Structure 1
Amino acid sequence: MPTSTDPATSPAFVDTARRPETRGIELVSPSDRHGRARDLFWVWAAPNVSVLNFTIGATMILLGLELWQAILVIVAGSLPWVFPGILAIAGPAAGTSGSVITRALYGVIGNKLVVAFTGWLISAVFLALNWLASSFMGADLVAQAGLTDPVLGPVLVTVVVSTITVLVAVYGHALIIKSYSVITIVLLAVFLAVTAFILPHVDWSYRATQPLDGVPLWSAMTIGFTILASTPLSYANSPDIARYLPRATRPSHIIAATALGGALPCIFFTIVGALLATAVSDTAMAAGIETALLDLLPGWLGPIFVLGVIVNTVALNGMTTYTSSMALQAVGVPIRRIPSAIVVGAIGTALTLYLVMSTNLLDAVNLMLQFLVIVSAPAMAVFTTDIILRRNRYDGAALFDGDRGGPFWYTGGWSIPGIGAVAIGGLAAALCLSTDVWSGPISEAMGYIDLSVPAGMIVAAGVYFGLSKTSLGRSALR
């Protein structure tokens, strides 16, 4: 059985969409490398033609922003998509999962702790958030078929969708690469049709009831930025999808395909979500943005849109479950990738069922996305900085050497620069975070301006870069 210290690959493995992918974190040999960088565009576009974009866009208006201010924040909040693009180039360089590559950043033992948070906590939250969206909207669809129970309907939808999602993760890389271009085109057709029926209802002269200025305006805009930026900053799994590409693939093409695939649909449909918020009443918004949206659509389009939401959920969570299954292996659990994917799916399903019975979509999305940046922003900054410092040179085979005295054993299995940078960056992010539940003292002193993303990333990158100049850092970056 391949383990976290075994780089070997199976000579019988073939990356095909017709059967489950048995390879986990094992190295992808040069003979198995294939594909083009532009294939990554579709892989990242399909998950991001999402109803969550509508929800987050509506949030920008609920924060009190004018339309032009909301659009400005949406564009700015999508710029961090460049970071998953940068991380993706490490996949072909090392030929293995990002959760293994980060041993170079944190050490053999330290990496287990970080991956447990970034590969499991974040993945579980996003699995639940997206299944939650399809559960609420799918429940409306099954209610039309006669199943009106407010708990049983969402639970049934969650179980069915999560089962299909796990199947996608089981078949893995080849199925994702082959099918997501088709899924993107189908989803674009559905979501553009929905957009066409939203636009006639938009209040283009919309003005906030109490226009914001000064510190309250900056507070709303920075909170909105944090919510938006948290999505791309959570995708530290981008090397996993790119690892099959030939090593000679141009890094600039990988960065562009990944970043644009995620950013373009996010920008467009999040702006549509902001426009949608001007078309519905406060009462309708309180009932849930998903319900308000369905009320604007003709009867024939509503079920199609809900099915589109479910397909998008499967696309996004299928990829998340796929990469999370390798994170479990990288942590050191002696399990093959396919059983690991099933375990990940079961945990995500359980969390979703809890949220279905305890919250609403808008509250869950906003609160979870804000708190995630405490972990995701520093981790993304450290990984990006490491790629730059190493000039994207990673020895895939050496990454699997977990013995004492190995190249990535560092200080007792821990990399002080990496762990220290993430911890200090996370503290900086927490001190600058502003949420309805808790706000850091720096944010509170500034009038609840939320600088958690830039603070967490700049501090983490600065600490990591600074320590790289010490004896500890020079050892880590050798």
Structure 2
Amino acid sequence: MSNDNKVGAVETRGIEPVPDEERRGGPLQLFWVWFAANISILALPLGATLVAFRGMNIWQAVLVGAIGSFGSFALVGLISVAGKWGGAPSMTLSRAVFGPRGNHGPTLVSWLSRVGWEVVNTTTAAYALLAILHIAFGVGAGSVLTVVCLLAFVALTLLVSGLGHATLVWIQQRATYVFGALNLVVGGFLVTKVHWHAVLHAPAAPAGAMIAGIGVIAGGTGIGWANAGADMARYQPRQVPGRRIVAAAAAGAGVPLVLLISLGGLLSTGDHTLAAASDPVAAIQAMLPSWMAVPYLLAAFGGLLLSNHLSVYSAGLTMITLGIRLRRVVAVGIDVVLTLAGGVYLMLIAKNFYGPFITFISLLAVAITSWVAVFLVDMGTRREYDPDGLMDTTRGGVYWHRGGVAWPAFTAWVAGIVTGLLFTVAQTSDTDVWFAGPLSHTWPARNGLGWLVAFAVAALVYLGLRAATGQGGARRSGRPAHEMSRVSS
């Protein structure tokens, strides 16, 4: 590896494309990165929701979990292939699609979403750590101890994310063994809580419920990571087959998610407590004796930490892409400070803020999905990313387009967002509805598929505008036009 991308050393590279001679590793690295980010036992409520609120039996829940998890992370893998082509983070590559100015909107949404989920991860992990201290040492939660727990989590996050790519990859693989084993131990105990008679005699749900369930799982898993796909894959050598990168992302995340979603479905058959809980950490803890609660809470803490490593690393790169002139490690530091402040506010100041906060960042998923659609359509005919052009945000740059904006892409992105919101309902409860689109009474809206509508509309509008304006293949050179076909070859 190069001197700035070694385990234990601070990665000095920012968003500039990685030269071919500095690319090392292979798809197995990506497998462990995505496996680690998805071994959190907090995936259990997703499976519980399929059974409790969608009425599925366990076999349907397993199938829906598999399609939603593997399928959505296959999209993450496809965007990761672009990272191999261009050697740059996802939102930096997005400059080629939207133009340096047009890319500010998608990049800002990506950064807000990433930081928002980091705050949720940090807060939840701090609650888990407080519970461990209470069980093990009888220590009561107070303001000072709450801040200490928050600091401990963000410090562990900064230690890995601040050092950078090589350290993150190394830690994710090895920590997976530890926290994965803890998850297996806790999961094995939870299996004893399953109402097997109810599981074996549960009726099947209609096909429509399964379709909606796939959307729920995809929206709650891979879609949220799609705009970070290339961030880790940018160090992959060009000769690595694209299909292996897609498989690494899909399998790395899909295997742990399907196991956890299935267990959540089993636990919720005959008992809807987990699915209805506002705090899934506490709900699962209540199912366990105190001697098993500590391993469970450690597994929850570790899973959140491994997910946060990747999220903070990606958020730092996204901040730089916005045009803020910072070293990558400084951008990561700012990110964790904001995360700490958000955690302090959530835990010590806000009243009933947890639900509304998650509702806000869930709304951002519509905009992220619209970006994914435009980006993937562009990949379908793209030949290569110009490394100098990605870094040139001045007038006359190769990706300047018109006024710094690629209007077909930007228009399609906005069209996807607007249409998706028509089918979106944002609420923290039945009585606290933030926003309800005019079409919120329709089947897609009732089943939480507004993001899927956004994807379809953005893709179709972009295809139409590209055809009408003759854009889509200009200023691209070097890589054969059929490169995308290699993903499946």
TM-score normalised by length of structure 2: 0.86
Q: Which residue of 1 aligns with 2:458?
A: 460
Equivalent position to 1:242, from 222, 230, 233:
233
TM alignment of 1:114-193, pairs within 5 A = 114-118=106-110, 120-144=111-135, 145-149=137-141, 152-193=144-185
Q: Which stretch of the first structure deviates more once superposed, 68-77 or 162-171?
A: 68-77
Following superposition, the deviation at residue 212 of structure 1 comes to 10
CA distance in 1, matches of 2:129, 2:317: 30
* Conserved 8 A contact 2:57-2:205: no
* Conserved 8 A contact 1:227-1:366: no
CA distance in 2, matches of 1:243, 1:415: 24
Equivalent position to 1:63, from 53, 70, 77:
53
CA distance in 2, matches of 1:302, 1:125: 28
Q: Which residue of 2 aligns with 1:273?
A: 264
Cα displacement string for residues 123-175 of structure 1 (whole angstroms, at most 9, x for unaligned residues): 01221222222122222112232331265544432221011101111111001
Q: Which stretch of the first structure deviates more once superposed, 225-234 or 360-369?
A: 360-369
TM alignment of 1:68-467, pairs within 5 A = 68=58, 69-78=60-69, 79-118=71-110, 120-144=111-135, 145-149=137-141, 152-206=144-198, 218=208, 222=212, 225-226=215-216, 228-235=218-225, 236-278=227-269, 282=273, 286=277, 288-357=279-348, 358=350, 363=355, 367=359, 370-391=362-383, 393-436=384-427, 437=433, 438-446=435-443, 448-467=446-465
CA distance in 2, matches of 1:280, 1:189: 26
* Conserved 8 A contact 1:109-1:413: yes
* Conserved 8 A contact 2:72-2:223: yes
CA distance in 2, matches of 1:366, 1:59: 17
Following superposition, the deviation at residue 388 of structure 1 comes to 1.2
* SS of equivalent residue, structure 1 residue 17: coil
Asked if 1:40 corresponds to 2:40, the answer is: no
Following superposition, the deviation at residue 289 of structure 1 comes to 2.6
CA distance in 2, matches of 1:121, 1:278: 36
CA distance in 1, matches of 2:463, 2:193: 51
CA distance in 1, matches of 2:57, 2:412: 37
Equivalent position to 1:51, from 30, 41, 45:
41
* Conserved 8 A contact 1:138-1:154: no
CA distance in 2, matches of 1:222, 1:342: 39
CA distance in 1, matches of 2:65, 2:353: 20
* Conserved 8 A contact 1:58-1:276: yes
1:463 aligned partner, one-letter code: V
Following superposition, the deviation at residue 252 of structure 1 comes to 0.8
Q: Which residue of 2 aligns with 1:4?
A: none
CA distance in 2, matches of 1:457, 1:283: 31
2:459 aligned partner, one-letter code: A
CA distance in 2, matches of 1:122, 1:39: 25
* Conserved 8 A contact 1:76-1:225: no
* Conserved 8 A contact 1:404-1:413: yes
2:186 aligned partner, one-letter code: V
Q: 1:328 to 1:472 in 2, by over 3 A?
A: farther
Q: 1:34 to 1:137 in 2, by over 3 A?
A: same
Instruction: Kindly report the root-mean-square deviation, in angstroms, between the aligned alpha carbons of the 2 structures.
Output: 3.0
Q: 1:360 to 1:272 in 2, by over 3 A?
A: farther
Q: 1:401 to 1:286 in 2, by over 3 A?
A: closer
Equivalent position to 2:18, from 28, 33, 46:
28
* SS of equivalent residue, structure 2 residue 281: helix
Q: 1:476 to 1:65 in 2, by over 3 A?
A: farther
CA distance in 2, matches of 1:307, 1:283: 19
CA distance in 2, matches of 1:337, 1:76: 36
Following superposition, the deviation at residue 354 of structure 1 comes to 2.7
* SS of equivalent residue, structure 1 residue 246: coil
Following superposition, the deviation at residue 396 of structure 1 comes to 1.7
Asked if 1:18 corresponds to 2:8, the answer is: yes
* Conserved 8 A contact 1:416-1:472: no
Following superposition, the deviation at residue 279 of structure 1 comes to 7.0
Structure 1: runs of 5+ lacking an equivalent: 1-10
Q: Percent identity?
A: 27
CA distance in 2, matches of 1:64, 1:443: 18
* Conserved 8 A contact 2:35-2:256: yes
CA distance in 2, matches of 1:73, 1:140: 33
CA distance in 2, matches of 1:310, 1:361: 21
